[in-house]
Amino acid sequence: MKIAVFASGRGSNLQAIIDASARGDIPTKIDLVISDNRDARALKRADKARVDNIFVNPEAFSSNGKYEEKLIEILKEYEIDLIALAGYMRILSSSFIKEYRNQIINIHPSLLPAFKGLNAQKRALEYGVKYSGCTVHFVNKGVDAGPIIEQAVVRVNDNDSVEDLSQRILKEEHRIYPEVIKGLVGGKYIIRDRKVIRN
Ligand code: GRF
């Protein structure tokens, strides 16, 4: 299975996947990293790990459709089978998602369906939940709404800052994202309606 990671920023999840693959925990490597941000630390991490990486500038295209056509062209060239979004800050169009149906996954820093969208950790804290966590899910056309593959739960402490909670959640993200990719490579999951079932 050929894997691409899409990342816009820090790239710590990308790093966790690269490290898991280097340790042999995932029986395959990352073939490609794509970013929409020239300065993304994720690109530097990919460089360091000798993973092909490409900055595709959305501003260089006349429309989002044309930008995504370029992404698809690159993905086809690399014969990518699985796209893992890891802090990718753009919403993929439904035609892109159709092209890679059930082949795109995302990690989100909350226990979905709670706190979809941006600043999930801050909103969880403000809401006063006692537990939060992270979710890996297939991407469908709703934002953070696709079938859930795996989740991890994190306790929210009374005195947590957004940073404290985010860090605690991130630790779990780095654990479950590579695990899910391992499972997908091994054909461990099947999608039945909204449910993802372990094979
Ligand atoms: C993570 O919190 C992830 O859940 C969210 O964006 C953040 C990306 O962090 N989708 P990083 O770039 O992987 O460090």
Q: Which domains does the chain have, with CATH numbers?
A: 1-100 (3.40.50.170), 105-199 (3.40.50.170)
Q: What percent of the chain has pLDDT over 70?
A: 100
Q: Are 149 and 176 in contact (CB under 8 A)?
A: no
| Exposure on the CB side of residue 131, measured as CA atoms within 13 A | 6
Digit-coded pLDDT (tens) for 155-190: 999 999 999 999 999 999 999 999 999 999 999 999
Pocket of ligand 1 contains residue 17 by CB under 6 Å: no
pLDDT value at position 199? 84
Pocket of ligand 1 contains residue 178 by CB under 6 Å: no
Mean pLDDT (the chain, rounded): 97
pLDDT value at position 120? 98
Listed residue (14, 63, 49) closest to 34, CA to CA:
14
**Residue of 41, 108, 137, 174 marked active site:** 108
Digit-coded pLDDT (tens) for 43-60: 999 999 999 999 999 999
Strand pairing category for 82-85 and 3-6: parallel
Digit-coded pLDDT (tens) for 66-107: 999 999 999 999 999 999 999 999 999 999 999 999 999 999
Residue with CA nearest ligand 1 atom 10: 87
Q: Please state, in angstroms and rounded to a whole number, the distance separating the CA atoms of residues 134 and 173.
A: 6
Q: Please state, in angstroms and rounded to a whole number, the distance separating the CA atoms of residues 101 and 197.
A: 17
